[in-house]
Structure 1
Amino acid sequence: ERDLFGEIAADAREDGLAVIARMDSNRADERFYVEHPDWFTVDADGRPYRAGDLYISCINSPYYEEFLPAVFREVIERYEVDGFADNSWSGLLRDRICHCPHCRRAFRDVAQAALPTTHDWDDPVYRQWIRWNYARRLDIWDRNNAIAKEHGGEHCLWIGMNSGDLTHQSRNFRDYKGIAERTELVFLDSQYRHAGMGFQRNGEMGNLIHGILGWDKLIPESMAMYGAGQPSFRLASKSEPDARFWALDGFLGGIQPWWHHIGAYHEDRRQYRTAAPIFAWHAEHEDALVDRTPGATVGVVWSQENVDFYGRSRPGELYALPWVGMTDALIRARIPYLPVHADHVARDAERFGLKALVLPNVGSLSASQLDQIRAFVEGGGGLLATGETSLYDEDGIRRDDFGLADVLGVHATGSHHGSDRDDRASWDEWGQHTYLRLSPECRRWVDGPQTGSEPDLDLPRHEVLAHFEETDTLPFGGRLEVVRVAEGTQAPMTLVPPFPIYPPETSWMRHPASDVPALVLHEQPESGRVAYLAADIDRCFGRSRLPDHAVLLGNLVRWTTGDSIPLMVDGPGFLHCQLYRQEELLILHIVNLTGHEVGHAPVDQLFPMGPIAVTLDVPDGIGQSVNVTRLVSGKESSANVVNGKVEFEIERIGDHEVIAIAAGDGDQG
């Protein structure tokens, strides 16, 4: 018999490569199941859970306690591998409950209760089952690493595999923060852009993982060269631009390339041409792509507990859509941002000099997390919060009032207008046909029909309503929390209740105005600026992509920072921009995603953009003379330093550009 893995490992050693044994350890065929049926997951009636024709092993059984450790030892002894990757190490997904004897016994020992039989988030036993499952996966992580190091030496690592999507991590009971605190690197199994999402999710996930893992560590990502997607074609070539954009935005987020083919022989050989230029460019400029710290001054707060205990059975609508809507609006506004774990607010605010925090419907926050956010604002930091932020505790139990009521300047009433369901309304169902009224109203002074009833007030609007000078209303269509506002606040937007869409003769506002606030602004002496969006504009933008919603979100974030964004990028296109520091070097990463903000079809073309004018705050150590080098085009840019800011122009950006700004010869000591 041929030992194919042994041959490949030997060849890799000859080429000076480290060898990682990639496993898919959790599933087995019927031959194995017949020998050890008690090692596999079963439902409440004792029927085995299956994935296709394979059986799913139980993480609490001897399969994990005895069999897999023996496999690790054998692989290390036979091949002297440097580590392990494992694709399905975390076992049964959250949507199914294992009732095998091992699970029944282990859970009762911890919870003094029987296993739950239904997915009831209001049941404290079910919530304990969720946390018990997370803890068991961390135990497995620690145990597997202990075995790897015992038999392979201190540098032999078991690294598993982790997802590029928080909801998927939650379905697998993989605690990203807990894992990051235990590992030297993350193997990221996030192979391609999924339908309906943008390439920007890859760079964002790189930033999120670095925030919990460390900015000096590595995140090699399995990047599909094959036809990944819906449907998938394992032996076909992925569109070269589609694969390239995924990799390039990953580089922006501090991710390292790791090409992925299915099998070693292919009749469609176009896929062999994709990785080489990507890897060659990364290798040439690797020094500028690792060991960086973020230069963003805006932190967007997240936690996996919020995904689980607030998102519960609806994480897509309660967590993902608000997050995607908010962060995509920041990308459109060219505002660099940093994903910040809710436990790390105080640490990261001090470490990176954050000027504002954004909480996109972060419903579930613990008392400690609330204290950190409150202290940040009291220390002068800005805050934008939306929807039900802070209305639930860490178990997802609703509070009587917002946990941040004193900071936000609002109090919960327990009622709301509209819906947060991702339903596609028809013209006959007009409950979501709502608008937001801007104040003061300005249409009397804008060209158009006049009835004589227009308000005769020529007053300036608040700066958060910039770019809406020719309208008194914005489309809404979402959910609005009804709140009671505190004294000393402003409400420059209010709700226009729903009215019919069709037939057109009936489509007129029955109640053109209301006193229901959609946006509340709160400023206190010596504290930061605070904006609370009762209207779920972030979720609406994530769902419907209305440009007005993105403009409003960008305005609000700029205002909460006191206009202290360190980067301004003027020019056409959808550009993903991220800023980094590296000792006395400033690095600006731009990926041109024009035409590909979201999508379903594979990308097969590029839309170059330019000219692009860039203005950057000059960091300490650079001085008044700078060198601006473009690492993709290989060109130098002439730059001016004016009032502490670097100004330069990029004539044209193809797929991406990386700009290194360093002290000029005249400023080097």
Structure 2
Amino acid sequence: MSGLWWQEPFRMFQTNLRETDAGLDVEEVLDYLVEFGADTWLLSVGGILSNYPTDLDFQTRNPYLAQRASGDLVGDAVKAAGRRGIRVMGRMDFSKIDHRRAEQHPDWCFVDAAGDPQVYNGLTSVCPSGDYYQVKLFEVLDEVLDRYPVDGFFCNWMSFNEVDYSRVYRGVCHCLACTRRYAAYAPGETLPEGKDSPGYETWQRFARDVLADLTGRIRDHLAERRPEAPLVLGDRADIVFHEANNAVGRPLWHHRTSEHVSAAKSYRPEVPVLTNSVAFVDMPYRMAGEEPHHFAQYLVQAIARGANPSTYIMGTPRDNPYECLAVAGELTRFHRDHHDVYRELVPAAGTLLVRPDQFKSGATAEFQGLYLALLQRHVPFDVLPEERLGAIDLGRYGVVVLPDLGPLAPEIAPALDRYCVAGGAVVATGNSGVVAEKIQLQCLPARRRLASHDTEESVRSLHLRDNGSDSDVVPVVGRFNVVEPSPTAEIGWRALSRAPYGPPEKCHGHLELEHPGRLRAPYGQGRAVMLPWTVGRGYREVGLTAHRELVIAEVLWAGAQQVATGLPEQVEIVLGRSAAGRVIHLLNRSGDADQRFAEPLPIGPSWLELPDPDVAEVQALRAGVRLPVVDGRVKLPVTERFEALVF
């Protein structure tokens, strides 16, 4: 359907309500949302607790609704918001039920391999395979739809709860519904007990398929009942959901929000993405607000990649006035004030970086190292999940980068070969497209793999040296494959044999070998590069710019677009297209620090060469100025947190 509200840019604010918040002042919250710049309110509606007078026996009415004269928070909120032009979306949580209902319906509940349920704070986890999700969820949606003109739904924590709120691993569900479904899905295989069990990867695919099917059924149900009410959830929903959050004890990947938004928008550019940004540090520390500079990165990275911004708090703004909400409001209003710039904003980079399948362990460091290399050297790129490689038109990109992906799905290798024949370029690192001795990708300039060094000890002391150079030497970290070059391959960066590395008196004996560290060749109308080692992991874990420059040289040889600019590597350049024209976001990453985001340092003035030489003028939205273009270049004002250029 055309004209649906969520196809336009929107801005959400979520109040994740405790049961004691049922008496909140609706008008006060709406006043706050209007000032904040939000036009959509994500409100806790039903599931674990119903914030309306439900008549369904398997739902629990919030006892604190008695604080309201109407006894109905949802009804009051929807009516008041409608008068203010604010949309209300229903947050639903079907992941748990209370003790009474768990006793009445054990067939709805998660059961571990020992036959025990998963109980946390008196609530029992529910399994998505069972009838609570498969049947009763739809009855709740119907009751809400029958009573209120809600503007959409979000289902929280709709997953197989292998991990509880305390991050304790509880294993794979063994309820009767899972047992039956899995037997049909993987005949002859036994349900694994946990992530270390044989068959766990098969079970992960099973779980993903069950959730995708359920998501599709919910979406279809809502489309039939209330087409103007979207579902916010996974890839099959109307709006793709990403929660940007922090967590105590989790290493910080500074680019997580950009990566996830890009992965969704590259797959289906026309489908809206919602980045729900958590304003507190972690669920156990929900009273402590997030560092403002950290929180700002959630929203800046989200809008630059084309997502709709959302701010998520516990309780109400009165009860939890987190310090980061000031910058959250500033950025939300910026998005509101430039509605046309963010309308239909889609990615427009010429390079595609493939994100390894979540089931493949060890490839994350390679992906992240290549991510950092491209970003820092101003090669704009989009991210695509590996499992989506066969679902998009690769012709949108000039170069596809494959970071140590290992064996490829049977249909993917031929698709990449066809892409290369037609004029595209492939840059493959590590084990990408390698199965045993076989090279799956015909475009790669190697006949076969002869041997693999893939343990820490087997690559220790292994170096690569650029042809004809005594000084250009890089260490190999992670993995190195010995491959037989094809006759057309141009070979570079030969291996030096390993030698003793201690004591110092014995540290000699490195000899140049025939083993190539880089192979290039044309293929059809395109070209391919093979780096049969984990150069990205080397950069991620060691930080040598020699690793970065090596891989960037190959990506540029393959035909990648590099933006000519005087900006330093601490500025990320994101290319997009929207209803307003070409859009370039400049993200100041100088505040990226160890396990945090600090206040970024002002950068500039500087210059940037535009991809379109015929542009006469550029509008800098944050600076609020129009910039003349001379000989294809624009002089940039100082970039503080970020800048958005429109032309």
Tell me if the contact between 1:198 and 1:599 (Cα under 8 Å) persists in the aligned partners.
no
User: Structure 2 counterpart of 1:515, which letter?
Assistant: E
Shift of 1:281: 1.0
Shift of 1:618: 1.4
Shift of 1:577: 0.5
The answer to whether residue 100 in structure 2 is matched with residue 31 in structure 1 is yes
Q: 2:468 aligns with which of 420, 427, 440?
A: 440
Shift of 1:566: 6.1
Q: For the residues of structure 2 that align with 1:148 and 1:431, how far apart are their CA atoms?
A: 55
User: Structure 2 counterpart of 1:599, which letter?
Assistant: D
The answer to whether residue 135 in structure 2 is matched with residue 66 in structure 1 is yes
Report the CA distance shift for 1:107/1:472 in structure 2 as closer, same or farther (over 3 A): closer
Q: For the residues of structure 2 that align with 1:567 and 1:23, how far apart are their CA atoms?
A: 44
Q: For the residues of structure 2 that align with 1:509 and 1:197, how far apart are their CA atoms?
A: 39
User: Structure 2 counterpart of 1:219, which letter?
Assistant: V
The 5 Å alignment of 1:130-279 reads: 130-150=204-224, 152-160=225-233, 162=234, 179=235, 182-192=236-246, 195-214=250-269, 216-228=270-282, 233-264=285-316, 265-266=318-319, 269-279=322-332
Q: Give ranges in structure 2 of 5+ residues lacking alignment.
A: 1-65, 164-168
Aligned twin of 1:413:
449
Q: For the residues of structure 2 that align with 1:388 and 1:145, how far apart are their CA atoms?
A: 38
Shift of 1:254: 0.7
The answer to whether residue 639 in structure 2 is matched with residue 653 in structure 1 is yes
The 5 Å alignment of 1:265-664 reads: 265-266=318-319, 269-302=322-355, 306-308=357-359, 311=360, 314=361, 317-318=362-363, 320-340=364-384, 343-344=388-389, 347-350=392-395, 352=396, 354-391=397-434, 398=435, 400-404=437-441, 406-413=442-449, 415-419=451-455, 432-441=460-469, 443=470, 471-506=471-506, 508-523=507-522, 526-561=524-559, 565=561, 567-582=563-578, 585-596=581-592, 599-600=594-595, 602-618=596-612, 623=614, 626-641=616-631, 646-661=632-647
Q: For the residues of structure 2 that align with 1:330 and 1:475, how far apart are their CA atoms?
A: 20
User: Structure 2 counterpart of 1:569, which letter?
Assistant: T
Q: TM-score, normalised by structure 2?
A: 0.81
Report the CA distance shift for 1:586/1:142 in structure 2 as closer, same or farther (over 3 A): closer
Q: For the residues of structure 1 that align with 2:175 and 2:390, how far apart are their CA atoms?
A: 41
Q: TM-score, normalised by structure 1?
A: 0.78
Q: For the residues of structure 2 that align with 1:188 and 1:127, how far apart are their CA atoms?
A: 23
Please state whether the residue corresponding to 1:589 is helix, strand or coil: strand
User: Structure 2 counterpart of 1:329, which letter?
Assistant: A
**Which of 586-595 and 193-202 deviates more?**
193-202
Q: Give ranges in structure 1 of 5+ residues lacking alignment.
A: 163-178, 392-397, 422-428, 444-470, 662-669
Shift of 1:490: 2.5
Please state whether the residue corresponding to 1:98 is helix, strand or coil: coil
Q: For the residues of structure 1 that align with 2:385 and 2:291, how far apart are their CA atoms?
A: 35
Residues 207-252 of structure 1: CA distance to partner in whole angstroms, max 9, x if unpaired?
Answer: 21012232x3321211122224xx9621122111111122111111
Report the CA distance shift for 1:260/1:127 in structure 2 as closer, same or farther (over 3 A): closer
User: Structure 1 counterpart of 2:515, which letter?
Assistant: V
User: Structure 1 counterpart of 2:618, which letter?
Assistant: V
Taking only aligned residues, the RMSD between alpha carbons, in angstroms, comes to 2.8
Q: For the residues of structure 2 that align with 1:143 and 1:528, how far apart are their CA atoms?
A: 42
Report the CA distance shift for 1:418/1:187 in structure 2 as closer, same or farther (over 3 A): closer
Shift of 1:339: 2.3
Please state whether the residue corresponding to 2:352 is helix, strand or coil: strand
User: Structure 1 counterpart of 2:154, which letter?
Assistant: A
Please state whether the residue corresponding to 1:227 is helix, strand or coil: coil
Shift of 1:474: 1.7
User: Structure 2 counterpart of 1:402, which letter?
Assistant: I
Shift of 1:277: 0.8
Q: For the residues of structure 1 that align with 2:561 and 2:449, how far apart are their CA atoms?
A: 35
Residues 462-492 of structure 1: CA distance to partner in whole angstroms, max 9, x if unpaired?
Answer: xxxxxxxxx2312333310111112121321
User: Structure 2 counterpart of 1:322, which letter?
Assistant: E
Shift of 1:590: 0.7
Report the CA distance shift for 1:19/1:608 in structure 2 as closer, same or farther (over 3 A): same
Report the CA distance shift for 1:529/1:570 in structure 2 as closer, same or farther (over 3 A): farther
Q: For the residues of structure 1 that align with 2:508 and 2:339, how far apart are their CA atoms?
A: 58
Report the CA distance shift for 1:331/1:117 in structure 2 as closer, same or farther (over 3 A): closer
User: Structure 2 counterpart of 1:483, which letter?
Assistant: V
Q: For the residues of structure 2 that align with 1:579 and 1:79, how far apart are their CA atoms?
A: 41
Shift of 1:527: 3.2
Tell me if the contact between 2:299 and 2:328 (Cα under 8 Å) persists in the aligned partners.
no
User: Structure 2 counterpart of 1:436, which letter?
Assistant: L
Aligned twin of 1:457:
none
Residues 579-604 of structure 1: CA distance to partner in whole angstroms, max 9, x if unpaired?
Answer: 123468322111010241x631x323
Please state whether the residue corresponding to 1:610 is helix, strand or coil: coil
Q: For the residues of structure 2 that align with 1:71 and 1:584, how far apart are their CA atoms?
A: 41
Report the CA distance shift for 1:430/1:268 in structure 2 as closer, same or farther (over 3 A): farther
Report the CA distance shift for 1:332/1:122 in structure 2 as closer, same or farther (over 3 A): same
Please state whether the residue corresponding to 1:323 is helix, strand or coil: helix
Report the CA distance shift for 1:232/1:434 in structure 2 as closer, same or farther (over 3 A): farther
Report the CA distance shift for 1:515/1:118 in structure 2 as closer, same or farther (over 3 A): farther
Shift of 1:56: 1.6
Tell me if the contact between 2:244 and 2:277 (Cα under 8 Å) persists in the aligned partners.
yes
Please state whether the residue corresponding to 1:639 is helix, strand or coil: strand
Q: For the residues of structure 2 that align with 1:637 and 1:403, how far apart are their CA atoms?
A: 49
Q: 2:150 aligns with which of 60, 81, 84?
A: 81
Please state whether the residue corresponding to 1:82 is helix, strand or coil: coil
Shift of 1:293: 3.6
Report the CA distance shift for 1:565/1:272 in structure 2 as closer, same or farther (over 3 A): closer
Report the CA distance shift for 1:17/1:415 in structure 2 as closer, same or farther (over 3 A): same
Residues 84-138 of structure 1: CA distance to partner in whole angstroms, max 9, x if unpaired?
Answer: 1111112334972222222222333444436324569996x76554433222212
Report the CA distance shift for 1:604/1:595 in structure 2 as closer, same or farther (over 3 A): closer
Tell me if the contact between 1:540 and 1:549 (Cα under 8 Å) persists in the aligned partners.
yes
User: Structure 2 counterpart of 1:270, which letter?
Assistant: E
Tell me if the contact between 1:226 and 1:236 (Cα under 8 Å) persists in the aligned partners.
yes
Q: For the residues of structure 2 that align with 1:137 and 1:29, how far apart are their CA atoms?
A: 23
Tell me if the contact between 1:185 and 1:213 (Cα under 8 Å) persists in the aligned partners.
no
Q: For the residues of structure 2 that align with 1:593 and 1:284, how far apart are their CA atoms?
A: 24
Q: For the residues of structure 2 that align with 1:627 and 1:58, how far apart are their CA atoms?
A: 56
Aligned twin of 2:12:
none
